[in-house]
Amino acid sequence: EVQLVESGGGLVQPGGSLRLSCAASRFTFSSYWMHWVRQAPGKGLVWVSRINSDGSSTNYADSVKGRFTISRDNAKNTLYLQMNSLRAEDTAVYYCATSISRLFYWGQGTLVTVSS
Amino acid sequence: QAVVTQEPSLTVSPGGTVTLTCGSSTGAVTSGHYPYWFQQKPGQAPRTLIYDTSNKHSWTPARFSGSLLGGKAALTLSGAQAEDEAEYYCFLSYSGARVFGGGTKLTVL
């Protein structure tokens, strides 16, 4: 069974930075697109970003473009999300996800809280 | 960026039928948007119900079906059960970006 484990969340002040990681296992990580999706407390799912299998192509939601950077290290089977210039509205649980044979697999999420 | 719209909430009686819809601010939803439907229950990660408009996964109950209806993607639940009470999200693909709808809270009552 595909396993995705996020880490790196925590409390950060507005304007600060944080890097999230997602450790992938039990599938061929280097073959698949990866996504970040977030969910603010009590709110809906919001797609954040995606990256292709070799890291050469990325896409972002308008709300994070220019502030967040998605990347991956296929040698380490790890996905990253570098988040800069954080705002209160970035407070959410951040999930990494992948689609294999049209089925989305999700991690358990990591909570990011942006507050002074 | 496109905005994807869903009914904020719907109620269905046990055994009844309900249709959830998913519209796009850019125009009609087509198969080229590869519509997904996810189900999410409190405290859980989302689960894929439908992909590419109407395709089901092995665990998708037969009472769920996906389609295109009147320029929107649609998820129809026929024979609702108490366990179907959940939040449902559609997910559309645009060139590059992906967008979730705001979700529909489905109550079985």
Per-residue pLDDT of B46-105, as tens digits, reads: 999 999 999 998 889 999 999 999 999 999 999 999 999 999 999 999 988 999 999 999
Q: How many CB atoms lie within 10 A of CB B39?
A: 19
Segment B1-44, tens digit of pLDDT: 899 999 999 999 999 999 999 999 999 999 999 999 999 999 99
- Note the pLDDT tens digit of each residue in A80-107: 999 999 999 999 999 999 999 889 999 9
Work out whether strand B9-12 and strand B104-108 pair parallel, antiparallel, or are unpaired. parallel
Residue B106 pLDDT more than 90?
A: yes
> What does the DSSP 8-state code read for residue A44?
-
Backbone angles phi, psi at B84, to 5 degrees: -85, -5
- Tell me what pLDDT residue B1 has: 86
Say whether A47 and B89 touch across the interface (CB within 8 A): no
Cα–Cα distances in Å, from A99 out to A42, A103, A107?
A: 25, 5, 12
For residue A92, the model assigns a pLDDT of: 98
Average pLDDT, chain A: 97
pLDDT at A21: 98
Min distance A8 CA to chain B CA atoms (Å) = 18
CB A84, CB A17: distance < 8 Å? yes
* Residue B75 contacts residue B50 (beta carbons within 8 Å): yes
Q: What is the pLDDT of residue B96?
A: 86
Angle at A83 between CA A19 and CA B48, to 5 degrees: 85
Chain B stretch 30-89, residues whose beta carbon is closer than 8 A to a beta carbon of chain A: 36, 38, 40, 45-46, 48, 51-52, 55, 57, 87, 89
Give the C-alpha separation, B88 to B46, whole Å.
9
A72 in contact with chain B, both atoms CB, cutoff 8 A: no
Supply the mean pLDDT for chain B. Answer: 96
Task: Give me the pLDDT at residue B61, please.
Answer: 95
What is the distance between the alpha carbons of residues A106 and A98, in angstroms, rounded to a whole number? Answer: 7
Q: Mind listing the pLDDT tens digit for each residue in A14-53?
A: 999 999 999 999 999 999 999 999 999 999 999 999 999 9
Give the residue-averaged pLDDT of A56-68.
97
**Between chains, do A59 and B45 touch, taking CB under 8 Å as contact?**
no
Residues of chain B neighbouring A46 (CB-CB closer than 8 A): 100
Q: Smallest Cα–Cα separation from A90: which of A110, A65, A52, A64? A: A64
Q: Does A37 touch chain B (CB under 8 A)?
A: yes
- Considering only CB atoms, A45 lies closest to which of B46, B48, B55, namely B46
Contact A44 B102 (CB under 8 A): yes
Look up residue A78 and give its two tokens: 């790890």
